[in-house]
Chains A and B, each alone.
Chain A
């Protein structure tokens, strides 16, 4: 791909990255020194524990709760669980007994500890074998069937609440031109402290993310991929209180992209910041292992704050997301940083401003598969104007070389998309992609022009903000309402009771395997 050219101040770029690394470091240290109930439950999922009790509460929750109540999670629950397992045929029957109050958990030592360690490592290793096999299958299918012929990849959403309705809709969307299918989750799943189990047919404005739903949809899209002659990627959400578990389920069931922002849950769902950062690091390590592209959520800031005034907060968040992702072992090609076309169309030169912001992201992250999000905030019931706005959004995406384009719907803010809305939206995308396929080659904004000046200005504001964040601490910046406008103190929010500082003897076989696997590339100017 010939990248678009934008003369950015190289010194400023290096400074921005160095500041992001410094600002991120205390949070990384925090993530490495704490564990959460969801990290521990994800470990049980990797060890193969599935199923739920008659009330729908998964056995991983019942088992982890029992261990937490008796010995806490600060040592890691693998040792007490796999020590107790010596008296049971499998994890599920141990979980049944633990839920009934019939198991006494203890931290073993000596030979008993070594035996428990061996059992745990072997069980969790089998989970990583599944993840590795899924990754190999994806590579093989992509090699065999092929990638989409064009960039950006076309990303479409389905959301019926019923996985068996979602499947034909997703297959139809792929046949109509979608390269990536995202299944929107049921409203509020991010606040559930457990992952629902099995195939689900009822949701609120979306479909629950479950291991079985993942498996069903992936199998259906494999079929469709062969029919349409390109590998259709599947997206879901590793966010909320169960990020690590959903990442593990995604890895084992071969999802291809996962929404996974470093701060979204804190800002928009009031989830405790420490819980989020700990869960996020583990989930990103899993995504790295599984070859899953993460999508970050910077577009959301622009739906609450003004897209011109707050443009630099997007850049800051992208740089922080990049740093956290690198630290967790995600390479640039799995880093789907987000940004959006959300400037008020009534603002003079709004399109030029959009081009400046989009080019800034493109130039700052040349090897990342950037995700370009359509207008939502300024979409109204005027569907005709909405279709025009979406056309300009598509044009900006092509001109600035974006990698993944979430298809905008003219009926945004009116109805969940109708069949015809989706068709019209795809027609809009196809027209722009075909009419302007190589336009990026011709688009070289002059160094002293409006676009380059604006991009450098936003970068400068981002550096100023990063300096403040480094000096105040990222957690304090979040507490003060720097992002989005929401104030979120580190000792508040949901899920704090599921966080524990790791004890000196903390041991988790999944963490051990993942930490071995992370090979964080060091960015320019990294003080470490």
Chain B
């Protein structure tokens, strides 16, 4: 009898959790519907667009690209997720990865070190760069009460000018072409370049008949992404530091009551976020182009923000949301190449997706809250 009641409670609990967790799916579907309506509106047939997306994304090369290009997106998602968990809004991932990538590029190009150590130093330089760029906003927040959104946004603006200045000046690898499009640092030393993992990965995926083509990046940055995701999952859900981070994120005054040092925790959270952000650009710098350029892929910070929201700040969820956004990027190119629909529609749609996810989230949470209240009423 008691067991039966307990079981009923448990199944109800599962249902609530499912309801609370389903908003990303609904948000995604809603955004897709909006996209198809827009596609139809500009005179392209939705089935045509869908066909282009599917054939371009789900070929062997398409899947390979999606997986490979999800790496920086996942890392950026993780950087955003940890900040959100701690109640911080790190819009500065954008600037942090830009500066981190510069630091990594400089460390790779100017230092002389044996291979494994040099790679490690490149990774650490990236993290240090990201942390440095996160440092000023978090200090301003903790000591001066400047909202981190304002602080990080300003640092983003400053970052793009500073890297341009540094690569144009002290770290210029193409002298005499000031401010040119080809502006970049010198090439990384061979000792600093990320090793390729094609052989290893293909030997595993080959069992299922899947091969990553040579022109798709399968490299050490995959390992970085995996370590970041697992490490973050462990930090957030298993460690006491992670619990404190979540406490501060959910309720600062209860955290004070519980004796958590809020300033220290906020600082730590932001440093972790900045360090992870510093890794976002490494695939491009240390494997694909082998130099740093101010023209490095932009916008990954904001994509990561969307990824984190979609994943509800769960590190494992970030992997799936990252793959989804990588797919969306790919889908954008598919549309651009084979239909009248420009790539930029995908950017607009990701904005709509964030909005619809958070709106659905609110609606469902409220609904579950009402259901729970009813239950409390029955228990009284």
Q: Do A and B form a real pair?
A: no
B interface residues with partner A (beta carbon < 8 Å): none
| Chain A residues proximal to chain B, CB less than 8 Å | none
